[in-house]
Amino acid sequence: GNSVTQMEGPVTLSEEAFLTINCTYTATGYPSLFWYVQYPGEGLQLLLKATKADDKGSNKGFEATYRKETTSFHLEKGSVQVSDSAVYFCALTSSNDYKLSFGAGTTVTVRA
């Protein structure tokens, strides 16, 4: 079946630091890859997605590239802000399993 492994947290950074959250996956069929974010007190929101190999998803300064050869979808942001403090989830679906399979989530705290 499908599974996602993402970097354990928590991660604490200073404002303007570089953020990377590693995510690797195993999947049957052809996967689509997602990053969801959960801000404090709010529901899950889609941050970005990529549906085929070598696609780059981007939003709000975050980027992730779908790497089929390394089965990875690492999330990066060049300069974080306090408002980026949240829990980040890597997830996937595949062509023969439409449900989202999530990683355990990574808690990111950005200090001013």
Partner 1 sequence: EAGVAQSPRYKIIEKRQSVAFWCNPISGHATLYWYQQILGQGPKLLIQFQNNGVVDDSQLPKDRFSAERLKGVDSTLKIQPAKLEDSAVYLCASSLGASGGNTDTQYFGPGTRLTVL
Positions in the binding site for partner 1 (CB under 8 A)? 4, 29-32, 34, 36, 42-46, 49, 51, 89, 91, 93-95, 97-100, 102-105
Minimum gap (Å) between residue 90 Cβ and partner 1: 8
Minimum gap (Å) between residue 47 Cβ and partner 1: 11
Minimum gap (Å) between residue 112 Cβ and partner 1: 26
Residue 18 or residue 30: which is nearer to partner 1 going by CB?
30
Residue 45 or residue 79: which is nearer to partner 1 going by CB?
45
Q: What is the 3-state secondary structure (H, E, C) of the chain?
A: CCEEEECCCCEEEECCCCEEECEEEECCCCEEEEEEEECCCCCEEEEEEECCCCCEEEECCEEEECECCCCECCEEECCCCHHHCEEEEEEEEECCEEEEEECCCEEEEEEC
Residue 1 or residue 112: which is nearer to partner 1 going by CB?
1
- Of 64, 42, 37, the closest CA to residue 53 belongs to 64
Residue 12 or residue 95: which is nearer to partner 1 going by CB?
95
Minimum gap (Å) between residue 103 Cβ and partner 1: 5
